[in-house]
């Protein structure tokens, strides 16, 4: 098909110190941290809500913020604040009060101790309030389109807003799209799926039900028929349902995402029929189906350091550690044939270095969340929400430091970064 050459003069939406693209778990924490440092910060989000996979895709609960044995807390900082504020409005249960196996983990035990059940609407409210209180300017219904580059830097970005195409200027940018959308259009090399050419992990369309019988489900003492997993929310009788998978979905293709979402909607009905035959769920009703398809994996960036499976297996500590985590390498079947599950040994605690957030090829961009520079199997460990929030907080602070020092984001003092994060409640230290 012939290509269209199109030229237009675009109005600027604004000019900022730091622009965060993507309002998911990583993005909101990046924006809050940067704005609290007095930087003029904006966050742009495609959907009508902040929270990304946790809200628009209904993904929950927050996986463990403890080490792999469920014994020591390893994620705090802004993540803690979000959880505490959601608890205050009866929208979450502290991870310190949950254990596995239980109705909160669908009777899964491995790596599921100390999850955080939450309500997605309550979380939306909390994220709105925290961003506004920090002074973050929020643009919802605004989609990233392209980058305008000069000498290996992003000078401005193009956005599709309700009023049409607009431009936005910033000194520094943080890609929290989950799919490395900004990085891929800003001179950064990326790959899709696994580094050896295998498909990415599959997608799932979450839904929620109410009118379940908690006592009957708890008395049953085991998860529903596979692949359905029901995670109880803070309100009795209500559950988030993780179930069938859509294989081979390309989150960077409109046609692939369309076909996958249509298929996934049919899967919701099949899963619900199965659920009605499960003890405790005979009278449950669907209350909502996620408007956004849950994506586990898409692109990965080439960064200053590629985190490896061995790093996670051995619990390597890096001098520029910005995240400590403990969740297992959870790699769902990539095609329905290859075995899924927790692959390989996971150290009790492992770390994510700042260098893995720094892409090669664009000097005023950081990436936070699941697309950071890491082997695909390794990414199966930190792709979950608490780790993404911790990465976002680190990226926001790093940009604030870079602006203060007048240096590129890849050249900041990482000792200072770790000190600042530690002072703000984040866990960056490591003892085996």
Confidence (pLDDT) at 342: 86
pLDDT value at 432 more than 80: no
DSSP 3-state of 255: helix
As a whole number of angstroms, the distance between CA 432 and CA 326 comes to: 12
- Compute the average pLDDT of residues 328-334: 94
Dihedral sign for Cα 209, 215, 218, 223, please.
negative
Task: With cut-offs at 50, 70 and 90, classify the pLDDT of residue 48.
Answer: very high
Confidence (pLDDT) at 317: 97
By percentage, how much of the chain surpasses pLDDT 70? 100
pLDDT value at 338 more than 80: no
Rounded to the nearest integer, the mean pLDDT of the chain is: 97
- Compute the average pLDDT of residues 69-97: 98
DSSP 3-state of 44: strand
Q: Tell me which residue of 177, 139, 141 sits closest to 52, measured CA to CA.
A: 177
Confidence (pLDDT) at 339: 73
- Compute the average pLDDT of residues 231-241: 98
Confidence (pLDDT) at 431: 82
pLDDT value at 369 more than 90: yes
Q: CA 29 → CA 78, 99, 199, distances in Å? A: 7, 26, 29
Task: With cut-offs at 50, 70 and 90, classify the pLDDT of residue 295.
Answer: very high
Structure tokens at 368: 């936070």
Task: With cut-offs at 50, 70 and 90, classify the pLDDT of residue 138.
Answer: very high
By percentage, how much of the chain surpasses pLDDT 90? 95
- SS3 string, 186-218, reads CCCCEEECCCCCCCCCCEECCEEEECCCHHHHH
Which residue stretches of 99-213 are H helix?
120-134, 181-184
Q: Where are the domains of the chain?
A: 12-95+120-198+296-423, 207-289
Confidence (pLDDT) at 328: 97
The percent of the chain in helix, strand and coil, each rounded to the nearest 5, is 30, 25, 45
Position with higher pLDDT, 52 vs 2? 52
* pLDDT tens-digit series, residues 52-76: 999 999 999 999 999 999 999 999 9
The CATH H-level superfamily of 12-95+120-198+296-423 is: FAD/NAD(P)-binding domain (3.50.50.60)
**φ, ψ of residue 353 in degrees (nearest 5):** -85, 150
pLDDT value at 340 more than 90: no
As a whole number of angstroms, the distance between CA 55 and CA 4 comes to: 36
Task: With cut-offs at 50, 70 and 90, classify the pLDDT of residue 226.
Answer: confident
pLDDT value at 24 more than 90: yes
Q: Is the pTM of this model over 0.95?
A: yes
* pLDDT tens-digit series, residues 149-176: 999 999 999 999 999 999 999 999 999 9
| 159 close to 143: Cβ distance less than 8 angstroms | yes
pLDDT value at 2 more than 90: no
* pLDDT tens-digit series, residues 262-275: 999 999 999 999 99
């Amino acid at each position: 098909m012939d290509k269209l050459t199109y030229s237009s003069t675009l109005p600027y939406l604004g000019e900022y110190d730091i622009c965060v693209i993507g309002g998911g778990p990583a993005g909101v924490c990046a924006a809050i941290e940067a704005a609290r440092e007095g930087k003029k910060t904006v966050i742009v989000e495609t959907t009508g809500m902040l929270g990304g996979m946790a809200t628009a895709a209904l993904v929950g609960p927050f996986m463990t913020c403890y080490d792999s044995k469920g014994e020591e807390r390893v994620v705090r900082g802004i993540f803690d604040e979000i959880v505490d504020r959601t608890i205050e409005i009866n929208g979450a249960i502290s991870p310190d009060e949950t254990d596995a196996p239980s109705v909160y983990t669908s009777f899964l035990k491995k790596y599921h101790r100390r999850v955080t059940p939450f309500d997605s609407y309550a979380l939306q409210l909390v994220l709105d309030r925290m961003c506004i209180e920090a002074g973050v300017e929020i643009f919802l219904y605004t989609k990233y389109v392209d980058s305008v580059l000069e000498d290996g830097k992003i000078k401005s970005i193009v956005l599709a807003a309700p009023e049409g195409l607009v431009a936005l200027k910033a000194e520094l940018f943080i890609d929290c799209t989950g799919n490395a959308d900004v990085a891929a259009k800003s001179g950064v090399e990326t790959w899709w799926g696994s580094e050896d050419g295998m498909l990415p992990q599959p997608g799932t369309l979450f839904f929620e039900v109410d009118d379940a019988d908690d006592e009957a489900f708890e008395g049953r003492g085991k998860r529903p028929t596979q692949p359905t997993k029901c995670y109880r929310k803070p309100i009795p009788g209500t559950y988030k349902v993780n179930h069938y998978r859509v294989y081979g979905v390309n989150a960077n293709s409109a046609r692939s995402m369309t076909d996958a979402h249509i298929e996934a909607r049919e899967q919701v009905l099949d899963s619900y029929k199965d659920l009605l035959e499960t003890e405790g769920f005979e009278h449950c009703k669907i209350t909502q189906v996620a408007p956004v398809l849950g994506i586990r994996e898409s692109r990965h960036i080439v960064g200053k350091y590629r985190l490896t499976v061995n790093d996670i297996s051995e619990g390597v500590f890096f001098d520029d550690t910005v995240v400590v985590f403990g969740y297992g390498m959870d790699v769902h079947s990539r095609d329905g044939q290859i075995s899924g599950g927790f692959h390989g040994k996971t150290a009790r605690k492992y770390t994510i270095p700042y260098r893995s957030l720094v892409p090669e090829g664009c000097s005023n961009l950081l990436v936070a969340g699941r697309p950071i520079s890491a082997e695909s199997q390794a990414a199966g460990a930190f792709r979950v929400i608490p780790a993404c929030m911790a990465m976002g907080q680190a990226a926001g602070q790093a940009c604030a430091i870079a602006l203060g020092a007048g240096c590129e984001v890849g050249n900041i003092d990482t000792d200072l970064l770790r000190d600042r994060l530690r002072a703000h409640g984040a866990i960056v230290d490591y003892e085996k």
